[in-house]
């Protein structure tokens, strides 16, 4: 199995960020080094959180000195709180030359940024050039490339013009009642279409990224998108009206 460095937020209440990513990776037997960019009591969607930024530069330096970052098979990046955190991670990734770098550009949704513009710019300028896998929602893709993306055809065209091996675009409209998750790998395109829901729990993007990356090291790699979306849909269904993504239950059902 693989050794994976996962960098994102750590939230106590609600499986978002590392709380969603790490179980998805560990369920497939991978070793995970979970590095939080911020530690929060809860997702802001559940009320104002309490927490603190983490000193990513010092932690990365300590990990490198320990030799903990040697032989890393993959890196997954998610939420960043500051632009300097992004720049620090990008510099380390440049030295590691890791074969798989999944960048989940957690910058916004529903037509607006929910991080500072400086953070979004840093992700675009410093992390996208290092990515081998990119997993934006349709708004994030639009913002990152500076092109309006609002349908499947445009999403595919934009993704194919990025210099990234694999791009997965989520929340792509299909008619008025469905959304597609579209995978673009060069000329190859595949997708999974799901019903459009009135609301979904927080953490679905984090969970999907973890699920997909976990399967890049298995014999089921060619079915990674379909399997990952199926588990995600199960988690959403199991969540019911709680508003908390049922990560553990969905993983248990999939094993």
Q: What are phi and psi of 74, to 5 degrees?
A: -160, 155
- What is the tens place of the pLDDT at every residue in 159-214? 999 999 999 999 999 999 999 999 999 999 999 999 999 888 999 999 999 999 99
Number of Cβ atoms within 10 Å of the Cβ of 229: 22
Question: In angstroms, rounded to a whole number, what is the distance separating the alpha carbons of residues 248 and 235?
Answer: 8
By C-alpha distance, which of 193, 188, 191, 189 is closest to 174?
193
Which are the contacts of 186, defined by CB distance < 8 A and separation ≥ 6? 160, 165
Q: What are phi and psi of 141, to 5 degrees?
A: -60, -45
pLDDT of residue 46: 77
Domains (range + CATH), the chain: 3-254 (3.40.1190.20)
Question: In angstroms, rounded to a whole number, what is the distance separating the alpha carbons of residues 156 and 141?
Answer: 11
- What is the tens place of the pLDDT at every residue in 47-98? 788 989 999 999 999 999 999 999 999 999 999 999 999 999 999 999 998 9
Three-state secondary-structure class, residue 11: strand
Q: Pairing mode, if any, of strands 166-174 and 178-185?
A: antiparallel
pLDDT of residue 49: 85
Helices 224-239 and 247-254 cross at an angle (nearest 10°) of 130
Rounded to two decimals, what is the model's pTM? 0.96
pLDDT of residue 187: 94
Per the CB < 8 A criterion, the answer to whether 155 and 212 are in contact is: no
């Amino acid at each position: 199995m693989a050794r994976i460095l996962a960098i994102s937020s750590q939230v106590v209440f609600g499986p978002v960020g590392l709380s969603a990513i790490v179980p998805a990776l560990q369920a497939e037997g991978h070793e995970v080094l979970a590095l939080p960019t911020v530690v929060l009591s809860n997702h802001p969607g559940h009320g104002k959180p309490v927490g603190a930024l983490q000193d990513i530069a010092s932690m990365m330096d300590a990990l490198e000195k320990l030799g903990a970052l040697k032989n890393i098979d993959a890196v997954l990046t998610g939420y960043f709180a500051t632009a300097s955190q992004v720049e620090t991670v990008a510099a380390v990734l440049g030295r590691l030359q890791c074969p798989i770098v999944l960048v989940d550009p957690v910058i916004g949704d529903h037509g607006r940024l929910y991080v500072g513009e400086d953070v979004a710019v840093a992700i675009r300028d410093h992390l996208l050039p290092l990515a081998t896998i990119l997993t934006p929602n349709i708004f994030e893709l639009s913002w990152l490339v500076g092109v309006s993306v609002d349908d499947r055809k445009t999403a595919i065209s934009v993704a194919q013009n990025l210099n990234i091996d694999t791009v997965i675009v989520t929340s792509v409209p299909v008619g008025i009642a469905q959304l597609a998750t579209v995978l673009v790998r060069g000329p190859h395109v595949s997708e999974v279409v799901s019903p459009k829901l009135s609301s979904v729990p927080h953490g679905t993007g984090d969970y999907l990224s973890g699920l997909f990356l976990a399967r890049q090291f298995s014999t089921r790699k060619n079915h990674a998108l379909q399997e990952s979306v199926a588990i995600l849909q199960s988690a959403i269904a199991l969540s019911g009206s709680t508003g908390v993504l049922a990560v553990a239950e969905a993983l248990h059902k999939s094993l």
